[in-house]
């Protein structure tokens, strides 16, 4: 009686491709940190001048995003990035919760009755620029993270995407406040963003084992289903899935 043969095939990119992707992650992290430091300084300064809680909160959010990107930078600065992944992911998760907590508190304070914010042309321009820059940066981070199989890079891309939402909220809030004096619009929308941040933080805390290539070995037997069905079932959320062209989504 012969036993079925099993073939273990490690998933993930080749060592050469992994080195290229790791370098790309480092460059994206450097770009994220640089932009967010500038964004934080401009937003907090402009917010202080205009007495705008939304602008100051946006600047503090940028600082939180710097901590998230720094966690990824720390992870990939080591010889074995995967060994540091869990700790880095926890730091990113905490940054999500910290952002949600701060935005919630400041939003409630603004609704109860804070100081009336003045018009801020600098704030409007900053929000518009961030709304244009952040989606592309988030997409590049997410695409690279998925191909590399890095949960931290994917989680950090969601942090950057949250900045896009906050930029839109800030832009609308400042514009509506300047045009109509509706100071309540911004904190209401910000509370929605806080809820999204909590959701993303919970998902980052749970992690996704399919995003760790070295931890996943596909087991194939002679009676196994057609190629592709196992991968689809094992990675239902599409984190490391591939499109029709074979490239990561």
Q: How far apart are CA 176 and CA 29, in angstroms?
A: 33
Structural domain contains residue 64: yes
| Helix (H) or strand (E) run with residue 220 in it | strand 217-220
Q: What is the pLDDT of residues 168-193, one digit of tens each?
A: 888 888 888 788 877 777 677 778 77
Supply the pLDDT for residue 38.
95
Supply the pLDDT for residue 4.
52
Of 174, 200, 206, the C-alpha closest to 187 is 174
**CATH number for position 162:** 1.20.1510
Contact 27, 236 (CB under 8 A): no
Structural domain contains residue 80: yes
Q: How many domains does the chain have?
A: 1
Supply the pLDDT for residue 22.
83
Q: How far apart are CA 215 and CA 55, in angstroms?
A: 42
Structural domain contains residue 246: no
Structural domain contains residue 243: no
Across the chain, how many H-helices and E-strands are there?
A: 7, 2
How does DSSP classify residue 7? E
Of 54, 76, 42, the C-alpha closest to 188 is 54
Structural domain contains residue 239: no
Q: What is the pLDDT of residues 16-40, one digit of tens each?
A: 888 888 888 889 888 989 999 999 9
| Residue ranges in 78-150 assigned as alpha helix (H) | 85-113, 121-148
Structural domain contains residue 140: yes
Supply the pLDDT for residue 211.
46
Tens digit of each residue's pLDDT, the chain (249 residues): 454 544 444 556 788 888 888 888 889 888 989 999 999 999 999 988 887 777 887 888 888 788 878 877 887 777 777 777 778 778 878 887 887 888 788 878 877 876 566 778 898 999 999 999 999 999 998 998 888 888 888 878 887 888 888 888 888 888 887 888 777 776 777 787 788 778 877 877 775 444 444 433 333 333 344 444 444 444 444 444 444 444 444
Structural domain contains residue 50: yes
Of 128, 107, 134, 137, the C-alpha closest to 43 is 128
Q: Give the domain range for residue 182.
A: 10-234
Structural domain contains residue 100: yes
How does DSSP classify residue 247? S
Contact 242, 149 (CB under 8 A): no
Q: What percent of the chain has pLDDT over 90?
A: 13
159 three-state secondary structure:
helix
Q: How far apart are CA 93 and CA 208, in angstroms?
A: 13
Q: Calculate the CA 38 to chain-centre distance.
A: 18
């Amino acid at each position: 009686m012969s036993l079925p043969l099993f073939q273990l095939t490690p998933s993930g990119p080749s060592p050469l491709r992994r080195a290229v992707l790791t370098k790309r992650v480092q460059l994206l992290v450097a770009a994220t940190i640089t932009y967010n430091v500038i964004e934080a300084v401009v937003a907090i300064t402009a917010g202080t001048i205009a007495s705008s809680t939304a602008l100051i909160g946006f600047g503090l959010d940028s600082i939180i995003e710097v901590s998230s990107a720094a966690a990824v930078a720390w992870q990939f600065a080591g010889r074995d990035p995967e060994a540091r992944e869990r700790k880095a992911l926890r730091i990113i998760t905490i940054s999500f919760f910290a952002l949600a907590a701060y935005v919630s508190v400041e939003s409630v304070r603004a609704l109860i009755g804070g100081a009336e914010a003045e018009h801020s042309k600098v704030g409007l321009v900053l929000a518009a620029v961030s709304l244009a820059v952040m989606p592309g940066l988030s997409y590049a981070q997410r695409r690279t993270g998925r191909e590399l199989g890095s949960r931290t890079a994917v989680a950090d891309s969601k942090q950057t995407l949250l900045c896009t939402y906050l930029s839109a909220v800030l832009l609308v809030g400042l514009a509506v406040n300047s045009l109509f004096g509706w100071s309540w619009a911004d904190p209401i929308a910000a509370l929605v963003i806080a809820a999204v941040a909590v959701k993303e933080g919970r998902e980052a805390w749970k992690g996704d084992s399919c995003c760790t290539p070295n931890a996943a070995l596909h087991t194939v037997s002679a009676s196994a289903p057609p190629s592709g069905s196992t991968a689809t079932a094992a990675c239902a959320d599409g984190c490391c899935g591939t499109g029709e062209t074979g490239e990561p989504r």
